[in-house]
């Protein structure tokens, strides 16, 4: 048993000694983005208490293991905190919080996807990570603008038009999912 533990410790030491800067920065970005999402989503009273340590550990888990279930768990913890704050504490649903949580979760998820395929000892050009983040921030910006426009239109499209628009959007999402699933099954 001690031999197995010693081998694991030696492998961990070797991995840490071989690690390069950019993959570590990406992994730190995962933890920071998810921790910031948790601090925005959870009730302020809980965030300033000693329980923030638990939120920090959950946010750090995907940074250490981006290929595992940690990313999904951390995102569910963020969503759970937001639901707890808006339903149990009757906090107002503010647009800035929704956009901040969505942005931070997307950045944490996209960085975890990058870290999952990026070995810790890889020599990576900074342009690769900069291009990745530029595309991600462009998606966030477009999504935020479309969200604000959609919210502005909800007052105008009350009633039947809103229901029809919702059904068309759901049909488009289902159609896109079916097309992607079919493309994956092609030889």
pTM of the model: 0.76
pLDDT by residue (tens digit) across 92-112? 888 888 899 999 999 999 999
List b or e across 52-80, with b for residues whose CB sees 16 or more CB atoms inside 10 angstroms.
Answer: eeebeebbbbbbeebeeebbeebbebbee
pLDDT by residue (tens digit) across 59-84? 999 998 888 899 999 999 999 999 98
**Measured distance CA(42)–CA(87) in Å, rounded:** 12
Q: If you compute the radius of gyration of the chain from its CA atoms, what whole number of angstroms results?
A: 20
Choose among 149, 141, 181: nearest CA to 165: 149
Q: What is the pLDDT of residue 6?
A: 79
Instruction: Report the C-alpha dihedral over residues 170, 171, 173, 179, rounded to 10 degrees.
Output: 160
**Measured distance CA(88)–CA(134) in Å, rounded:** 37
Q: What is the pLDDT of residue 155?
A: 67
Q: What is the pLDDT of residue 38?
A: 95
pLDDT by residue (tens digit) across 140-183? 999 888 888 877 777 666 667 677 777 888 899 899 888 888 88
Q: Per-domain residue ranges for the chain? A: 2-156, 158-187
Q: What is the pLDDT of residue 148?
A: 83
């Amino acid at each position: 048993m001690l031999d197995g533990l010693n081998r694991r410790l030696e492998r961990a030491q070797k991995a840490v000694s071989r690690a390069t800067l950019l993959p570590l920065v990406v992994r730190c970005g995962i933890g920071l983005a998810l921790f910031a999402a948790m601090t925005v989503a959870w009730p302020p009273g809980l965030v300033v208490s000693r329980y923030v340590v638990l939120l920090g550990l959950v946010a750090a888990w995907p940074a250490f293991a981006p290929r595992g279930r940690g990313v999904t768990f951390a995102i569910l913890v963020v969503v759970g905190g937001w639901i707890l704050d808006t339903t149990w504490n009757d906090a107002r649903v503010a647009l800035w919080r929704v956009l901040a949580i969505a942005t931070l979760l997307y950045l944490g998820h996209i960085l975890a996807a990058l870290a999952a395929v990026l070995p810790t000892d890889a020599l990576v050009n900074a342009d690769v990570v900069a291009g990745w983040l530029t595309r991600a921030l462009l998606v966030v910006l477009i999504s935020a603008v479309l969200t604000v426009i959609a919210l502005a239109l909800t007052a105008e499209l009350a009633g039947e038009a809103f229901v029809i628009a919702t059904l068309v959007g759901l049909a488009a999402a289902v159609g896109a999912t079916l097309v992607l699933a079919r493309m994956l099954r092609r030889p």
